[in-house]
A and B are shown apart, each in its own frame.
Chain A
Amino acid sequence: MRGYLLRRLLLVIPTILVVAVFTFGLLNITPGDPAAMMAGEYETPEDIEKLRRSMGLDKPLSQRFVIWIGQLARGDLGNSIRSNMSVSKVIIGRLEPTISLTILTEIIAITVAIPMGVLAAWKANSWVDRSVMGIAVVGFSIPVFWLGFMMIWVLSLNFHLLPAGGYVRIFDGFGPYFIRLIMPAFAAAIVMMALLARITRASVIEVLQEDYVRTARAKGLTNKVILFRHALRNASLPIVTVIGLGFAGLLTGIVVVEVVFAIPGLGRLLADAIKARDYPIIQGLILFLSAIYILVNLLVDIAYAYLDPRIRY
């Protein structure tokens, strides 16, 4: 296992390098120019060229890439073109909202979806199963932004139960911090709940057909023990995969929720940076998120080994 971990960690470096090359290349060949983004229509072409020179955009692509890789090797992601702030500092500042929202989303999704999936599997092909799966389809189909606005309208504007949006950092008060995450977390969790419920159902149904489950029934074990001690654990591999990749996906995919509820997270940062063609932020953030994906995949693989003793690396 140790050797496996070491090999996986060493693979991070070439993987990040490949991502860096692709990111840099794609950004620079797509239409868009940070200097043009900053310029107003009263500026002359000479003004804009001056801007490009001051940003280093007049240098050849290869030279800019080498400069950037050199910075990366020193752990420097550069400075934002718009604000002149360190990219690392900007990303770190946005981590807390996104991670908070992601964790709460996952907790809600797991808490609701897994029991739903297990129930549907246990009562497969019954009205219970069809109802649960129907709810899952609705969950897939609801646009997240619509759900978000509906929740604001009902819970904030009409019943004054929850704030309409915004974010308060955890050290500024846990109550205000938590209460503002409830609606966005529910809105983001809907799709994941639906997916997780379906995966859980399919996986548990498969396991319930195994011989050892028949043996467990024959031994007189209760349904609860059969489901949660025998079946669920063996069905957990695909569930864990979805949870792990869902976590990584939520870090950027949650942008719609962040926009609707005004949460200053990584998803919004990426969207704003793309609109402004803020190359250092886009590049830095993509590299950061790639590293997160790699780490999450590694943790999922480790979880496999824990859940299934037959898996050894």
Chain B
Amino acid sequence: MTTIRVLSLFFLIALATAAISIACGGSTEIVEKEVIKEVIKEVPKEIIKEVLVTKEVIKEVPVDKIVKEEVVKTVEVEVEKVVIATPSAFEAKAIDQASDGRYGGTLKTVSQASIGTIDPISSSAWVAWAVSTQIYDVPFASDGSFAIKPQMVDTWSISDDGLVWTFNNRADLEWHDGDAVTAEDFEATLLRAFDSYSVGWKELGARSTVKVVDNDTWSLNFTEPFGLVFDAMNFNTEGFPIQKKSIIKDTPAERGGGVLKEHVGSGPYQFKEWDVGNRIILDRFERYVSRSDAPSGHAGAKHAFLDSIQYYEIPDVQTRLSMLETKQVDFIDTAPLDFFEIMRDNKDINVYTDPIGRWPVMYLNHYHPPFNDVKARQALMASIDMGAIMAAYGAPAIQGLCPAVFLCGLRWDSKVGEEFYNQNDIPRAQALLAESSYDGRSIRAMTPVDQPTIHPILTVSESNIKAAGFDLDLQYVDWATLKSRRVKPDDWDIFTTWGAAANASPLTNNLGMGTLNGFSSDRITDLREEFFTSTSEEDKKSLVDQMQMAYYEEVPYIRIGYFSGIHAAGVWVRGFDPRALWPGYWSVWLEN
């Protein structure tokens, strides 16, 4: 068919030329030379069509050179032929997406609380991390068994003296706005984080300097060996979320004023829209290049099956559950514990427990009596019935006891000192209190009534604490009041809260030193310093045992047990990996 058209065209042109020649006259001999130029355009095999393009090219020659006027007419005929070409990485991805039934859909998830910011370096709030974990990628991240794996970093090396750690980034990293991620972005992010709230980041910043080696290479330079570089870069198991230098530059350095206004990351999802108080929308970042290793926890491949993720703010917990049951939402981040059994028994809902859990804790004020006296602290610890407190959290499946100060079942688990855990021994508590300098003053203990995961700690312990001999003044406050008063040392003696993954490492868990409670210990300080500079795993374990013993003897605070955070999802939500501390949706897809 194409040949016929070409020939037809040739005939027409020839005719036209002849006609023109006759009309114009002249004695010049005209020789026509036709060149048929076949232009091959590569197209995917699915696209087959015929397009005929003609192009006439006339070459002019000077009159005195004319012996023969050669009129060259080039006829370009576009012929579309199927050519098996190697698609680019993104084309291949598009083809994969089209054929893989998991791609597509919008996940509607309910955020744990009201979202104030999604800048994780300015805020330790759960919701800030839960959203930003999809937007920002990290140099290293924890996998499902909490082993630290490279993410944005490709390779790294350590100098023989252990003082220079050099990191080579993957070459395919790209910001959501199209710019390439460079080592300068890593430098800017680390410097910002070093001035932030994390004990681990601050520790790393105090011991090292960051240097940019080249576009894709950066280094941490230490003055003495530091055995916890990866741990420090892996705060809360998720790591340093790398942010763009140009955006950081426009943000005031100090905290409070230092909240990023733009949210440009390099992760699998990009920020699209924030309807404050209602929802945040993230869209898939099409140019994200995932790692190829298997997804696990926060590490490995991140497929981004979903077109979009929408985070909804729904303050009432009953309404959240109702909206999940009516399929208005697909996922609830941190569902209420007292709904655990209702959700577990619902055939349309899957319940997941988070991997580390939350750890209720009683903070004691070391600034003034009675808890500036170690005997009084030991007396209080001896009086607590931790089993009774944890039973108030609900079903045995989602709570329990654990004597390890750096969390049970994880890297720094230890059994040392466990005889001092969960004593529930009133006579012993009375004896210890008698040995202390306690003068019978009223103990102001704040319990937040609007925090169901904190409130049981003191309300269940009240009778035991009084039985031990303390004059307990249990004050029922709201969370905001508690937070306001705890920064004023003269305003409280005990307050309660819970901690999470930061407890898991001696790097981030400094056993309450230098914080709001005014506790300090040369013994623990020396042990931690030895731990930081040790490069022997065996020595580190021994030091952990010693730190745990120091905890039980010096009682900086009293950690109770643990309860699991629970997430709830409709059964149509597939691929969710509960081993990520913050719900990661990068391997999630929606069935039907």
Contact = CB atoms under 8 A, between A and B. Distances in A.
Given A39-B487, A47-B197, A50-B254, A268 B481 contact: no
Contact of B363 (A37, A41, A93, A97): A41
A51 B277 contact: no
A90 B498 CA distance: 31
A90 B277 CA distance: 9
B115 to A, nearest CB: 8
Interface in A78-98: 80-85, 89-90, 93-94, 97
Interface residues of A, number: 58
A82 B314 CA distance: 18
Contact of B481 (A32, A166, A272): A32
A244 interface: no
Interface in A264-290: 264-265, 268-269, 272, 274-277
A22 B510 CA distance: 43
A89 to B, nearest CB: 8
Interface in A30-62: 31-33, 35-45, 47-48, 50-55
A262 interface: yes
Interface in A105-135: none
A275 B312 contact: no
A43 B516 contact: yes
Contacts of A260: 316, 319
A245 B252 CA distance: 44
B93 interface: no
Nearest to A153: B322
Contacts of A43: 197, 515-516
Nearest to A53: B254
Given A40-B124, A164-B326, A81 B256 contact: yes
A93 B487 contact: no
A165 interface: yes
B232 to A, nearest CB: 14
Contacts of B486: 36, 41
Contacts of B328: 163-166
Contacts of A264: 275-278, 313
Contacts of A44: 514-516
B480 interface: yes
B516 A41 contact: yes
Nearest to A33: B484
Contacts of A50: 254-256
B256 A156 contact: no
Interface in B455-497: 478-481, 483-487, 497
B117 A82 contact: yes
Contacts of B252: 54
Contacts of A164: 319, 322-323, 325-326, 328
A72 B480 CA distance: 27
A83 B516 contact: no
B484 A31 contact: yes
B365 to A, nearest CB: 12
24 contacts: A31-B484, A32-B481, A36-B486, A37-B480, A37-B484, A38-B123, A42-B199, A43-B516, A50-B256, A51-B254, A54-B258, A81-B256, A85-B261, A90-B276, A157-B326, A163-B328, A166-B314, A166-B328, A169-B275, A260-B319, A262-B312, A262-B315, A262-B323, A264-B313
Closest 7 CB pairs of A and B: A82-B116, A264-B277, A54-B254, A54-B256, A264-B278, A164-B322, A262-B314
Given A94-B277, A262-B319, 12 more contacts: A39-B483, A40-B197, A43-B515, A44-B514, A44-B516, A50-B254, A55-B256, A82-B116, A164-B322, A262-B312, A262-B314, A276-B480
